[in-house]
Structure 1
Amino acid sequence: MIAKLIYGESCQGTLRYVLGKEGMQILGYGNAFSQSISPKFFENVLYFQGQRNATKNRYAHISLNLPHGENLNDKTFLKISTEYMENMGYGAQPYIVVRHNDTEHEHVHIVTTNVTNDGKVLPIFNSHRRSMATRQHLEKKYGLTPAPSAKQKEQLPVHRLPELQFGMNAEKGTRYYVQNVLNSINQKYKVRSFEELSRLVEPYHIEVKTTKNESGRVGVKYGLNNQKGYRTNFINGSEVHRNLSGPKLQKVFDIHSKSKLLPMHRKRLLKQIKTTYDLFQTIHPNDLEEVVKEYQDIDINLDKKGEVIEGFTIYDRSGYVFRARELSKNIRMQNRKDIFGNGNQPTHIDTESKQFKLEIQKTLKEALTTSYLKSSKQEGLLSEHIMTRNFRDIVPSLMASKSHNFLERYVPRNQRTEFRKAIENTFPMVRERLYELETKKEKETLESKFKLIGKVLKKEVFNVGTKQGSVRLLFQSLGVKYIDNQLSFAKSNRHTVPVPLNNLPFPKEMEKYVSMGFVRQNHLMLEMLAERSSENSPKLTASAIFLPMIFPNLYEKMNPDYKKQYESVALGLYVKNAERRHSSFEKSAKDYITLFNAKGFYFIRGEEGFKVKSIYTDNGSSSNLPKRTSLYLNSIPDVTTVLREQNPIIENLIREGRNDLQNLWVGHLMEGGLYNKAAFLLTVKNMRPNLHLEIIQQHMDNGLRESVQLAIKRQSNFEQRRLLRKGVYAISSLLEKRDRKTAEVYNGFKDELTDFTKFKKKGMGLGW
């Protein structure tokens, strides 16, 4: 099911369209004193209620659309519509539900107002995110086909032309069709002129005519001509929609044309097209789209008139559309006969060109780096890996490389052998250059770590010192080691920095191995703390909140002032990430709070808005929510009651010992799709994820169940089985929705299942 929301200042036009379709059917009214009222009476009620506030978003037009071939009876469709409106916060508003049958897919239109009886405006924060969660909830409840959850890269939808729409006169059909197409075009592209708009709508059989009066005011008209005998009269833009009139569109075009980023996009694209031309000796015109897409990841379309190719149009990722001649006359196909003027010759790379040699070097560099990053044992530094590789070692990475395959495909067949020899002959030079570059980077990185250690010690971020040897904890957290008055990388002795600490008796083997990802996060966090910066590093991520779990002994020694700053930043980073992960489950602002509560986070309201706290950080630590989010939470009618309801949930998590970051980490792994790692912690470590039950169930259905089953099967020795038996109830509740009989059969540890009653009220908290 697909739900669409549109907000506007008026409702008369929308209601005329919704109620004017032939064959339309009113399924019911919401919050009307009678279901027998006339549509005209409802229109008056809706209009006057909406006029009680001057907001631009007075009215809402919602459509719920089923996929082709899916059917619902009127009663069920009305019930779904009612539940949708209640979940979206329109439960107390007047609304009308109208069913249309003018397209192949069944759908209803719902028209309502965002203005309440007392003249206040309903909060519509995050409405599209809430709509997605509500839609998914209703899909599951009523067994409807899910709509795609991810954005798809595809062409604009093909709207049904009016002559194919059932029971619609030409004028109404044209208006609705043109409105749909133009809205889609303007959302996808940053159009800069009526000429450009005319080209973009041409595939949809829409004609655009502009007029200009004596004062210079621009007008626009739209008509249809499908060249198959169906043609309509032209309709003024303002009659199609107020935002599609000439003056309104001209304002939008001017904004796009005057953007300061426009010259940058032009310059970038021109360079990319020129680089493509430099690489090729010949390009068959029909291959240009594929070549540019694969080589530069640019979408272009050939401009054809019949069978003749007149040029090409670039559809940039920025949203701008450029014709080739607009960027430069030197990239027009007509002006590059040296590349495009060779008749039907196939597309071939120029193996003598400078660009070809650069591409070979780039491909080899990529293969060397990839062979290191994807090796099962990353022993030593990248520079050390590079100098120990010969050409044969990187052949597997080379063969899997997209850039290598691209080059090989367009190298002339009679030059393929020379191409492979060229790659092999270029390898020593690339290896040497990359080795020198990485060596320089590694030295600079080690120096930066040394300087950072000095700053952290000087600022006393941690209560560590050389006397008790606890400074080694700081070394480990930054991926370095200290031996014989020398600082070096933890996994290599190649680079060193002298650090005279009087040969302190540190253990030669630094503690357990730590992921370099966490080392980088810790480095960024300590840089921020040492500089007392109030801004987060753009490279810091949500995983920063887990640093005390990775480096427990170090973060236990963090000074209170710095700890408060660290926890505030970490909370903000995690909340920002979690908001995106929760989006498909968040039907309301109340859900927003509930989903975070299940994770061990809770909200308090202060003078400046809402703050978030957690069971993993100090009680005095908090992070301010953005103003818009605070307004969103404040829109909950009984927000004070909802905030109080957080207490027992949070207290229950603490009472069960689930205020350990590992419980949050398990859920984090699950949300990231790392089911094998999560399954290990669930089975062997007996951890329980702090996640809402609905989210857990989704991950179980998506593959976690199978990963847990495999993890259990891998356990063989007695100690591992003992750990499994200890956590059997937690696992069985994940696997089979707490089904007593199924759990007993599944887990295979019947000797442990002696008394189910003692588990009825234990271990099934809100986060589980």
Structure 2
Amino acid sequence: MIAKIIYGQTCTGTLNYVFGKEGMRILGYGNTFSRNISPKFFGSVLYFQGQRNATKNRYAHISLNLPHGEHLDDRIFYKISEEYMENMGFGNQPFVVVRHNDTKHEHVHIVTTTVKEDGKVLGIYNSHKRSMAIRKHLEKKYGLTPAPTKKQTSQLPIYRLPEKQFGMEAEKGTKYYLQDVLNSINQKYRVRSFDELARLVKRYHIEVRQTKSETGRIGVAYGLNNQNGYKTRLINGSAVHRNLSGPKLQKVFDIHSKSKLLPMYRKRLLKQIETTYDLFRTIRPHDLEAMLKEYQHIDIKLDKKGDVIEGYTIFDRSRYVFRARELGKNVRMQNRLDIFGKGHEPTQVDMESKQVKLEIQKLIKDAFTTSYLKSPKQQGLLSEHILKTNFGDIVPILTASKAHNFLERYIPRNQRTDFRKAVENIFPMVRDRLYEIETKKEKEILENIFKLIGKVLKKDIFNVGTKQGSVRLLFQALGVKYYDNKLSFTKSNKHTVPVTPGDLSFPEHMEKHVSTGFVRQNHLMLDMLSEQSSDNSPKLTATAIFLPMIFPKLYGKMNTVYKKQYESIALGSYIKNAERMHAPFEKSAKDYISLFNAKGFYFVNGEKGFEIKSIYTDNTTSCPLPKRTNQYLSSIPDLSETLKGQQPIINELIADGRNNLENLWAGHLMERGLYDKVAFMLTAEKGYPNLHREIVQHHMDNGLRESVKMASARHSNIQQNRLLRKGVYAVSSLLGSRGKKTEEVYNGFKDEFTDWSKYKGKGRGLSF
């Protein structure tokens, strides 16, 4: 099901269209004096209530659309509409649900007002995001087909072109169709002229004609012409929609045309297309679309007139649309007959070109990096991996890459052997060059870590010293080790930085494996706390909040002032990620609060607005929420009661011993879809995820249930084996055996994230 919402300042035109459609059926009214009123009376009720406030978004026009072939009877469709309105916050507003049958898919229109009886306006913050969550909820409840989640799979409704009709009815249908398509086009692209708009809407059978009044005022008119006997008169743009008038569109076009980023976009595209041309000896024009999409990720469409290709149009990721001739003379097909004008020759790579050699170098470089990242045990640094890797080691990864398959597809068969030899011949040069680059980079990183350690110690961010050797905790958390008055990376002795903190002898404690991801996050966090970071520095992710769980001894020694600063920063980074994760389940501002409450976060409303706190940080630590989120939460009708309702949930989490970061981590892994790791925590570690029940149920249905069953069976077998071994040990001891006296502890979760065995036994199990 697809739901669309349009807010507006007037409702007359919308009501005329909704009630005027031939064959329409009124399924019911909501919150009116009677359910047997006339459309005219309802229009009066809606108009007078909407006029009690001067907001521009007084009225709402909502459409609920089923996929082709799906059917609902009137009673169920009205019930779904009622539930949708209730969840969206329109439950107490007057509304009408009208069913139309003018398209190939079943749909209803709902018209209501955002103005309440007392003249105040309903909070429509995040309404489109909430609509998505409500839609998913209703799809699951009523067994409807889910709507596409990717933008590219949801195309404009070409099939909605009005049928051949006459009179006023045709005009109403035409206006709605024009409004629907033109608004969608202007949202999807940054249009710069009326000519460009005309080209973009031509495939939807819409004509655009620019007009000019006697006073010189620019205008625009729209009409329909499907070249198949159906043509309408031109309708003035302002009559279609106030934002589609000539003057208003011209202002938008001027803003888009004067963007300072426009030259940069043109330059980037010009370079990408010229690079593509340099790679090929011949290109069949019809192959260009697929080639640019695969090689440069550029979307183009060939401009055809009959069977003749006149050029192409580029639909850039910046939302701008360019004609090839805008970028430069050298990219026009007519000016590059050396590669486009070779008759019916197939598209072929130019094996003698410099670009081929550059592509081979890139292939080898990517293969080195991929083989290092995919190696089961990343022993040593990338530079060390490069030095000991032979050509045969990377061949399987290289030949499996998309870039290699792309090149080989367009290399003539009789030259593919030469291509493979060229790759092998270039390999030593690329390896030596890459080795130099990575070695230099690693040295710089180690020196930066050394400088960072100095700043951290100078600012006393942690209460660590050299006398007791506790400074090792800081070294370990930054992925380095100290030995013989030298600092080096934990997993390599290749690079060293001389230091003189005294003789610290604790090498065995320094070898503990820590995820490079958490080390990186810790590095970024300490950069921020020591004011070494810049605007161009990588941003913290949600995992920053878990640093005390990964480095408990170090963060246990954190000074109070910096601890509060850290917790506030970590809260902010986690909240941004959580908001994205919650989007499919957040039907209202109340849901926003309840989803966070289930995770152990709660909200307080202070003098400066809403702040969020957590059970994992100090009670005085908080993170302020943005202005828009403040307005969103303030729209809750019974706000004070909602905020009071948080306390029992938070108290229960604490009473159950679930105020540990391990419980939040289990939920975080579940949201990321790492079900195998979650299953181990649930079955072996008895770690309960702090997550809303609805979200847990979603992941259970999405594959977690099967992972838990497999982990439970595996864990049961391990327990049985353990009991058998205990029996063997007991018998052996009675017989005086001197065999193995210690058991091998099973820990299936010990991997690149962390070792969870130290937390075993905490938390509560989850029953299914």
TM-score scaled to structure 2, two decimals?
A: 0.92
* Distance in 1 between residues matched to 2:258 and 2:721, nearest whole Å: 67
* Distance in 1 between residues matched to 2:600 and 2:57, nearest whole Å: 36
* Distance in 2 between residues matched to 1:236 and 1:424, nearest whole Å: 66
Residue 337 of structure 1 aligns with which residue? 337
Give the SS at the match of 2:507: coil
Deviation at 1:692, TM superposition (A): 0.7
* Distance in 1 between residues matched to 2:493 and 2:683, nearest whole Å: 38
Deviation at 1:408, TM superposition (A): 1.1
* Distance in 1 between residues matched to 2:555 and 2:245, nearest whole Å: 61
Cα gap change, 1:624/1:537 in structure 2, threshold over 3 Å: closer, same or farther?
farther
Give the SS at the match of 2:151: coil
Give the SS at the match of 1:26: strand
Residue 204 of structure 2 aligns with which residue? 204
Q: How does 1:169-184 map to 2 (within 5 A)?
A: 169-184=169-184
Give the AA of the match of 1:66. L
Cα gap change, 1:188/1:612 in structure 2, threshold over 3 Å: closer, same or farther?
same
Residue 192 of structure 2 aligns with which residue? 192
Cα gap change, 1:235/1:454 in structure 2, threshold over 3 Å: closer, same or farther?
same
Residue 433 of structure 2 aligns with which residue? 433
Give the SS at the match of 1:352: coil
Deviation at 1:537, TM superposition (A): 5.4
Q: How does 1:161-560 map to 2 (within 5 A)?
A: 161-163=161-163, 169-510=169-510, 512-531=512-531, 538-560=538-560
Residue 718 of structure 2 aligns with which residue? 717
Give the AA of the match of 1:718. Q
Give the AA of the match of 2:684. V
Deviation at 1:155, TM superposition (A): 4.4
* Distance in 1 between residues matched to 2:2 and 2:317, nearest whole Å: 25
Residue 76 of structure 2 aligns with which residue? 76
Give the SS at the match of 2:190: coil
Give the AA of the match of 1:62. I
CA contact 1:301–1:313 (8 Å) conserved in 2: yes
Give the AA of the match of 1:513. H
Give the SS at the match of 1:112: strand
Give the SS at the match of 2:163: helix
Give the SS at the match of 2:610: strand
CA contact 2:688–2:764 (8 Å) conserved in 1: no
Residue 630 of structure 1 aligns with which residue? 630
CA contact 2:3–2:135 (8 Å) conserved in 1: yes
Residue 597 of structure 1 aligns with which residue? 597
* Distance in 2 between residues matched to 1:613 and 1:536, nearest whole Å: 28
* Distance in 2 between residues matched to 1:686 and 1:31, nearest whole Å: 49
CA contact 2:224–2:230 (8 Å) conserved in 1: yes
Deviation at 1:350, TM superposition (A): 1.2
Give the SS at the match of 1:215: coil
CA contact 1:64–1:108 (8 Å) conserved in 2: yes
* Distance in 2 between residues matched to 1:227 and 1:47, nearest whole Å: 40
Deviation at 1:279, TM superposition (A): 1.1
* Distance in 2 between residues matched to 1:138 and 1:609, nearest whole Å: 33
Cα gap change, 1:191/1:534 in structure 2, threshold over 3 Å: closer, same or farther?
closer
Give the AA of the match of 1:666. A
Give the AA of the match of 1:179. Q
Residue 726 of structure 2 aligns with which residue? none
Deviation at 1:534, TM superposition (A): 11
Give the SS at the match of 1:311: strand
* Distance in 2 between residues matched to 1:103 and 1:368, nearest whole Å: 54
Deviation at 1:177, TM superposition (A): 2.0
Per-residue CA distance 1:547-597 (angstroms, 9 max, x = gap):
000000000000000000000011111111101101111111111111101
* Distance in 1 between residues matched to 2:371 and 2:533, nearest whole Å: 37
Residue 44 of structure 1 aligns with which residue? 44
Give the AA of the match of 2:299. D
* Distance in 1 between residues matched to 2:496 and 2:165, nearest whole Å: 76
Residue 105 of structure 1 aligns with which residue? 105
Give the SS at the match of 1:573: helix
Q: Report the more deviating stretch, 85-94 or 207-216.
A: 207-216
Cα gap change, 1:533/1:443 in structure 2, threshold over 3 Å: closer, same or farther?
closer
CA contact 1:191–1:256 (8 Å) conserved in 2: yes
Query: Does residue 1:2 correspond to 2:7, yes or no?
Result: no
Residue 143 of structure 1 aligns with which residue? 143
Residue 731 of structure 2 aligns with which residue? none
Deviation at 1:626, TM superposition (A): 0.6
Give the AA of the match of 1:683. T
Residue 24 of structure 1 aligns with which residue? 24
Residue 754 of structure 1 aligns with which residue? none
Deviation at 1:444, TM superposition (A): 0.2
Residue 754 of structure 2 aligns with which residue? none
* Distance in 1 between residues matched to 2:508 and 2:274, nearest whole Å: 55
CA contact 1:102–1:165 (8 Å) conserved in 2: no
CA contact 1:189–1:321 (8 Å) conserved in 2: yes
Give the SS at the match of 1:598: helix
Identity percentage over the alignment?
74
Q: Report the more deviating stretch, 94-103 or 648-657.
A: 94-103
Give the AA of the match of 2:497. V
Cα gap change, 1:273/1:154 in structure 2, threshold over 3 Å: closer, same or farther?
farther
Return 5+ residue gaps in structure 1 as ranges: 723-761
Moved over 4 A (4+): 164-168, 532-538, 719-722, 762-765
Give the AA of the match of 1:9. Q
Per-residue CA distance 1:605-639 (angstroms, 9 max, x = gap):
10111000101001111100111111111111111
Q: Report the more deviating stretch, 708-717 or 282-291.
A: 708-717
Q: Report the more deviating stretch, 386-395 or 181-190.
A: 181-190
Residue 685 of structure 1 aligns with which residue? 685
* Distance in 2 between residues matched to 1:20 and 1:194, nearest whole Å: 31
Q: Report the more deviating stretch, 224-233 or 649-658.
A: 224-233
Deviation at 1:501, TM superposition (A): 2.2
* Distance in 2 between residues matched to 1:115 and 1:170, nearest whole Å: 32
CA contact 1:21–1:168 (8 Å) conserved in 2: no
Deviation at 1:168, TM superposition (A): 8.5
Give the AA of the match of 2:267. K
Give the AA of the match of 2:655. R
CA contact 2:466–2:502 (8 Å) conserved in 1: no
Deviation at 1:665, TM superposition (A): 0.4
Q: Report the more deviating stretch, 659-668 or 229-238.
A: 229-238
CA contact 1:64–1:109 (8 Å) conserved in 2: yes
CA contact 1:684–1:720 (8 Å) conserved in 2: no
* Distance in 2 between residues matched to 1:194 and 1:608, nearest whole Å: 46
TM-score scaled to structure 1, two decimals?
A: 0.92
* Distance in 2 between residues matched to 1:79 and 1:155, nearest whole Å: 28
Aligned length: 728
* Distance in 1 between residues matched to 2:604 and 2:209, nearest whole Å: 57
Q: Report the more deviating stretch, 110-119 or 547-556.
A: 110-119
Q: How does 1:631-650 map to 2 (within 5 A)?
A: 631-650=631-650
Residue 35 of structure 2 aligns with which residue? 35
Per-residue CA distance 1:166-189 (angstroms, 9 max, x = gap):
998432232222222212211111
